[in-house]
Amino acid sequence: MSKTEKNQELAAAKAGMDAKTARAYLRDPRLPSERKGDRTWRTRPDAFTKVWDELREQVGTNPGLEAKTLFEELQRKYPGEFADGQLRTLQRRLKQWRATEGPEREVFFAQQHVAGRLGQSDFTHMNPLGITIGGQSFPHMLYHFVLAYSNWEGVSLCYSESFESLSQGLQNALWELGGAPLEHRTDRMSTAVNNTSEEREFTGRYEALMRHYKMTGQKIQAARPNENGDVEQRHHRLKRAVDQALMLRNSRDFASIADYKQFLRSLVARLNAGRRERLRIEMQYLRPLPEGRMESLKRERVRVDSGSLIYVDRNAYSVHSRLIGERVEARIGVETIEVWYAGRKVEELARLRGRGKHRVDYRHIIDWLVRKPGAFENYRYRDELVPTSRFRMAWDALRETAPLKANKTYLEILELAARDGEVRVDEALRGLLETGEMGEGKLNAAAVLARLNEDSVPAPATSVHVAEVSLAGFDELLSNGSEVMQ
């Protein structure tokens, strides 16, 4: 405007500013905010001058220390010298110091993944989601496999970070996928990584698994979970997706483990549906699978002790008494333990979770308990020989009404359960309980056997009387219908 008007005063008047201001803008075209210099003086004394060297030394030694922690320590060390309102000042000072003079920070380099090269896997706990089976809490984990390029993922239910869980979960994912990547990366889990020796990087069983699928094993550095970042990130997103699906389902309870597994399969299939295009590209570079899976079972040779027990993975399991003194082979899977003798599978037991636990089946030892009823009173695993609540009620009733014969009588009833079926004997005990036949001298194996025999007799045919049906009503209905049609 100054170039179109006759003088600066007229141009300034039209721009709505004083002439002196207009001349100042013409001399220096920068904005006022650009012409303002940084303040180099303090408006109040620095409260942290005398302790700054001390603070700097602490942060230099332990870079993870937060300003609030340091400030609370100053307040304890120098009572009355630092007010709560000065915390923000210390936070700004430390932030500036860390950015200009503090220790270097780790740089994370974004990776460009190549199709078909890398798969990552890890275990993740699902307990925080509060899933229950039949109303009972269900502590468990998921083995989680992810392809780094396409983010295709597969999960398998497990209960511990065991090699069996890793082997089964990895093979489930590879066979569902239909191929294997060139490399497989895990964290430093002891099931795969040999942490006790510098000579061998991985355990023998894990190396054999990698050779079977022609993959190269990798491990991350200690305390560097970001190196397994794809699967770590998918942990978070998978659990969030599971949580959302459970909320839509309006229940976190499942009727059975099989129902919960089906829920997971359906959810993961939906998640993978959006990755089809990148997976199609990646499938071209995956290695073909071998002719068959590698056995995931861990094998141990154990001896059956005098109590008809074997000890597998620091838990106790009963087997049939005729195997006492023999060496058997325990084949340990994720959920079951198979017991083999002379090339034949003689037992399949549900695997216990944790350590120091036991599972004793009365059917394995009842023949000898009946011969030695006195051993039952103080038997270490006596509670395992009470299979249902009705058996417990029968045992309590016997101890109350016939304490001297309680052991022998109860074991005879238990022998009937082993011979004729636990469900049938349990139902017979229910009948005796409902009719009040658990009094003194009334509850015994003979009474239970009598009930079983009664239940086995087919019910007599019932004579059914069918009343004669009058057809007059139908005739009247038909005649009324004809009149309406006319």
| C-alpha separations of 460 from 227, 243, 395, 427, 452 in Å | 74, 55, 34, 21, 17
| C-alpha separations of 261 from 140, 232, 266 in Å | 12, 22, 9
Return the DSSP state at 242.
Answer: H
* pLDDT of 12: 75
* pLDDT of 459: 45
* pLDDT of 156: 94
| C-alpha separations of 287 from 115, 172, 185, 402 in Å | 12, 16, 16, 71
* pLDDT of 224: 57
DSSP 56-85: HHHHHH-TT--HHHHHHHHHHHSTTT--GG
* pLDDT of 41: 65
421, 461 contact by CB (below 8 A): no
* pLDDT of 3: 58
Domains of the chain: 1-37 (no CATH), 52-100 (no CATH), 118-283 (3.30.420.10), 298-359 (no CATH), 365-456 (no CATH)
Task: Quote the distance between the C-alpha of residue 324 and its chain's center.
Answer: 37
Residues of the chain with pLDDT under 70: 1-6, 32-33, 35, 37-43, 106-112, 189, 191-192, 194-201, 221-230, 437-441, 455-486
* pLDDT of 15: 73
* pLDDT of 102: 77
CA gyration radius for the chain? 39
DSSP 326-376: -EEEEEE-SSEEEEEETTEEEEEEEPPPSSS-EE--HHHHHHHHHH-GGGG
Q: Which two tokens stand for residue 205?
A: 């069983």
Q: How far apart are CA 455 and CA 473, in angstroms?
A: 46
pLDDT in tens, 160-193: 888 889 999 999 999 999 999 999 988 776 766 7
* pLDDT of 439: 59
Strands across the sheet with 309-312, in order?
309-312, 315-318, 358-359
